[in-house]
Amino acid sequence: MKNTLGIALALGLASLLACVTINVYFPEAAVRDLAVQIEDAVQERAQEEAEATTEQSLVVPAPGVLPSRVKVFGLLAAILGGLPAEAQTSEVVDPAVSNPAIRKIIESRGKRARALRKAKDQGVLGEGKDAHVVIRSLEGLALKDRAALQKLVKAENVDRDTMFKEIAAATGVDHSQLAQIQATYAETLRAKAKVGDWIQTPAGAWKQKS
């Protein structure tokens, strides 16, 4: 009788515990704020990359001749080279994105941002609900272009996956909540998308941003 009663109590307790919902804290505001900062930094890096490319195309020194503009840049580089890193720029990096691993990802993503932008403008790529960039269609692309695009997207998503883990570490979030980080980050990507960009809703439907 006692054993039966004990078993019944144990089963009842197990059922009660199974019904208890454990609320795990998720710093949604902090993750969203960090997502905005990172995306802004990526775009700034992309702009720097574009300006550097334009500048290089404009300065073509004649054989044996160093243009005055290049001389000035060289002089500035020499001067700045002897200064502490913090004195070389007036831009103050936000502490939230100053983590070396995150800065490395920003640098990497910034270099491919223009190529991704071009593909988005062509309607080939879209931003997925899990904060991954997604190939929507390869129609009309040559085989070599398809391979290049697939390689580009893979590299971008590898960087993003590493970024989500770094965000988790920076905000004290367990890796079991990575999907929630991605969902929150995807909200930022949808908000920052250009009109006409393809974006995926949380429900999974694709639409062009209006």
3-state SS of the chain?
Answer: CHHHHHHHHHHHHHHHHHHCCCCCCCCHHHHHHHHHHHHHHHHHHHHHHHHHHHHHHHCCCCCCCCCHHHHHHHHHHHHHHCCCHHHCCCCCCCHHHCCHHHHHHHHHHHHHHHHHHHHHHCCCEEECCCCCEEECCCCCCCHHHHHHHHHHHHHHHHHHHHHHHHHHHHHCCCHHHHHHHHHHHHHHHHHHCCCCCEEECCCCCEEECC
* 107 or 91, higher pLDDT: 107
Express each pLDDT in 33-79 by its tens digit: 999 999 999 999 999 988 887 766 665 555 555 444 444 344 334 33
- 34 domain residue, yes or no: yes
Give the pLDDT score at 15.
59
- 8 domain residue, yes or no: no
- 199 domain residue, yes or no: yes
* 182 or 59, higher pLDDT: 182
Highest-scoring range by mean pLDDT, 9-18, 134-143, 162-171: 162-171
- 174 domain residue, yes or no: yes
Express each pLDDT in 109-134 by its tens digit: 999 999 999 999 999 999 999 999 99
- 118 domain residue, yes or no: yes
| Number of folded domains that form the chain | 1
Give the pLDDT score at 140.
83
- 108 domain residue, yes or no: yes
- 20 domain residue, yes or no: no
Is it the case that residue 187 has pLDDT exceeding 80?
Answer: yes
- 11 domain residue, yes or no: no
Range of 32's domain? 26-57+94-208
Q: What average pLDDT does range 171-189 have in this prediction?
A: 96
